[in-house]
Structure 1
Amino acid sequence: MGLMKFFSCSILIFFLACGGETNPRNLFDIQIEGNRKQLQQGESVGVSIQNKKGKTIDHVSYFIDGKELPFQSGKIVLDIEKLGNKLLEAKIAYEGNSIAIDKKIKVLAKMPPEIYTYEVIQEYPHDIEAFTQGLEFHNDTLYEGTGSGKGRKSFLRKIDYRTGKVLQQTDLEKEYFGEGISILNDKVYQLTWQKRMGFIYDLSSLKRSDSFQYGESKEGWGLCNDGKKLYKSDGTEKIWILNPETLVEEGYIQTVTNKSIFNKANELEYVDGKIYANVWQKESMMIIDAKSGAIEGVINFGGLKKRVKQHDKLDVLNGVAYHPERGTFFVTGKNWDKLFEVRIKKKEDGDL
């Protein structure tokens, strides 16, 4: 290499290392009206480009999740489907060049969650030794998956919910802590907690037919399905969307209110476009829009735990299953001796 060529390359490397004009952030920055970092879905908000080097800007377009946002009179409209932590991207054309810059923002729900309560329709017996992690109905049979809490082995079982009688059961190996379950295409899917592995069973025999590994999700918590896709919670703000054939995590929603991003979704149940999610360690349940992640409602199950036998192993509310023929929900908890059939209703003035 000639001395001049070496010298020229050295200058270029130094220039780039010091953040020359090839670094878009040294040229432009996105400015949001009021320096806000939390915005609302559907909101119209003023944005501009800080032009640090006085370049001639020809055109600017704004994007979130690859979708171009409406932009008029210096304002963008946050017309996006999925909420949560986002990157607002600006694609800038200037002086024959084109670059992209971005800024981290939070896009939250438009409205606060509505408050719901419950009415107990019927009580049924439930295995007091079951550390419940997942519930789901298929036809009129209740399926339950449990964890290894309080010294009990994890299992998957079929139950006659009216009597509490166990119709069929498959135990997990002792190294696995069982978590949420869901039934789709004549298969039962069951998560494990921290082993980053799930299992697949034949619906009729409960014989294990396969297993699968998690992708980017952190752990296995709750599981449900919409008839086509599986939804998986992992203890973070994300609910992952899985292809039931490949078990690949193809995307996710984030659970948000109008004020914050929330990360406590545990056991899940899908009903009519909504995900009903137990709130970890709380006597409550969220109603989440399955497309946007907006928490549209919160169900207060306060007082239900007092209706079960009080004992040393008694743990939190967990487990929700919808019975489509009856149009009611069934809920229980870890080491509860009762399964409750409930009707969920909006809280009215005077409700406790």
Structure 2
Amino acid sequence: MRALVAVASAVLLVGCSTGTTDATPTTRAPSSALHVDVLGKIPHDRQAFTEGFELADGVLYESTGLEGRSSIRTVDPGTGRVTRTVDLAADLFGEGITVVGDSIWQLTWQNGVAIRRDRHTLVEEDRASYEGEGWGICHDQAANRLIMSDGTDRLTFRDVDTFAVTGGVDVRGTDGEPVTRINELECVPDENGHAQVWANIWQTDQIVRIDPGSGKVAATVDLQGLLPEADRAGVDVLNGIAHIPGTDEFLVTGKLWPTMFRVRFVTSGA
């Protein structure tokens, strides 16, 4: 089973898994096809098996996976320097993360455990259990809910405090086919303040934008070739989407990638 950055005249202030499924990713015929506009490059720790990626108040939070190597960390988004790391127990496989107020929820892959941490110290404060696998998670602030992926075509809604299931939606492409292997998630408000979910599709170079109200894929971004071939030795798949608040820009990276990229997702000719 994820250069210095300047944003809006200031320096820049989140899996999956190696899990498998028989389903094939389905992201055909999106309503809007986008491409990536690269604005900058920042170093990324090549030892980080990136599962969760999120930027909040000038701090980049990153969750890494693999048993015995999983961690949660804070990163300087301008330099890529890791500023704090807390390791998970050796039997836990870290997955997606999301910031909720002064806390961070961190998923685990097949352990059925969500860990709530103090956002500033990364120290564990509480745990919740869930059924199935944990892949990605994001905080829909407008609806005050968590949105979680488990590798299937289902997004599950959860309570921000108790982690209890409050609903969910099945994700479909414009052809009506299920969209599976939905991985790392990022909730980003649209022009009306409603969350749109940007998601990696595991084992592809695609990121999709999902309307969590209907479950429909509204756009697909093709990031093929983002990481140059010369830098691909020893790397794993694209994974990690962090929206840069107040802009239409994102930081994206991959598992064991040497670089994270500051990008925009644009239509052809934009």
The equivalent position to 1:134 in structure 2, one of 25, 35, 52, is 52
Partner of 2:140: 226
Structure-1 separation of matches of 2:230 and 2:82: 20
Matched, 1:265 2:182: yes
Q: 1:328 aligns with which of 249, 259, 270?
A: 249
- The alignment partner of 1:133 has SS state of strand
Within 5 Å, give how 1:173-252 maps onto structure 2: 173-215=89-131, 218-227=132-141, 228-252=144-168
Q: For 1:5-56, what per-residue CA distance to the aligned partner results, in whole angstroms no more than 9, with x for missing partners?
A: xxxxxxxxxxxxxxxxxxxxxxxxxxxxxxxxxxxxxxxxxxxxxxxxxxxx
Aligned partner letter, 1:190: Q
State whether structure 2 residue 88 is matched by structure 1 residue 166.
no
Which amino acid counterpart does residue 262 of structure 1 have in structure 2? Answer: V
Question: CA, structure 1 residues 307+164, in 2 after alignment: closer, same or farther (shift >3 Å)?
Answer: farther
Task: Encode CA deviations 1:245-287: one digit per residue, 9 max, x unaligned.
Answer: 1110111111101221111210000111210000110001010
Cα gap change, 1:301 to 1:112, in 2 (>3 Å): closer
How far does the alpha carbon of each residue in 1:182-228 deviate from its partner, in whole angstroms, 9 at most, with x for none? 0002100000000111101001111100111014xx20000101121
Q: Give the whole-Å Cα distance in 1 for the aligned partners of 2:162 and 2:126.
A: 11
Give 5+ residue unaligned stretches, structure 1. 1-110
Q: Larger Rg: 1 or 2? A: 1
Determine if contact 1:256/1:293 at 8 Å carries over to the other structure: yes
- The CA deviation string for residues 133-185 of structure 1, in whole angstroms up to 9 with x for no partner, is 00001111100001017xx6100000002112111111000100100000002
Which of 52, 58, 62 matches 1:144? 62
Paired AA for residue 323 in structure 1? I
CA displacement at 1:326 relative to structure 2: 4.1
Structure 1 residues 231, 206: CA separation in 2 closer, same or farther (over 3 Å shift)?
same
* Distance in 2 separating the partners of 1:340 and 1:308: 16
Q: Which residue of 2 aligns with 1:286?
A: 208
Q: Please give the TM-score of this superposition, normalised by the length of structure 1.
A: 0.64
Output the CA distance in 1 between the equivalents of 2:231 and 2:90. Answer: 27
* Structure 1: distance between partners of 2:34 and 2:93: 32
The Cα of 1:310 is off from its aligned counterpart by: 2.5
Partner of 1:62: none
Distance of 2:49 and 2:165 partners within structure 1:
27
Ranked by relative contact order (alpha carbons within 8 Å, sequence separation 6 or more), the top structure is 2
| In structure 2, C-alpha distance between the alignment counterparts of 1:158 and 1:308, rounded to whole Å | 28
Instruction: Out of 300-309 and 240-249, give the one that drifted further.
Output: 300-309
Query: Where is the helix percentage greater, Structure 1 or Structure 2?
Result: 1
3-state DSSP class of the match of 1:305?
A: coil
Q: Residues 125 and 161 of structure 1 are in contact (CA less than 8 Å); yes or no, is this contact kept in structure 2? A: no
CA RMSD of aligned residues (A): 1.6
Deviations 1:54-83 (A, max 9, x none): xxxxxxxxxxxxxxxxxxxxxxxxxxxxxx
- Give SS of 1:244's match: coil
Q: Structure 2 vs 1, CA of residues 308 and 211 (structure 1 numbering), >3 Å: closer, same or farther? A: farther
Stretches (4+) displaced over 6 A: none
Amino acid at match of 1:120: V
CA distance in 2, matches of 1:255, 1:311: 33
Mapped to 2, the partners of 1:346 and 1:153 lie a distance apart of 38
2:94, 2:41 → 1: CA distance?
25
Q: Is 2:258 the counterpart of 1:317? A: no
SS in 1 for 2:63: strand
Distance in structure 2 (CA, Å) of the matches to 1:171 and 1:186: 20
CA distance in structure 2 between the aligned counterparts of 1:186 and 1:263, rounded to whole angstroms: 32
Q: What percent of counterpart residues are identical?
A: 35
Q: Please state if 1:156 is matched with 2:72.
A: yes
Letter in 2 for 1:283: D
TM-score (norm 2): 0.83
Please tell me whether the aligned partners of residues 222 and 233 of structure 1 are also in contact (alpha carbons under 8 angstroms): yes
Instruction: State the alpha-carbon separation in 2 of the partners of residues 258 and 323 from structure 1.
Output: 28
**For residues 26-41 of structure 1, what are the structure 2 equivalents within 5 Å?**
none
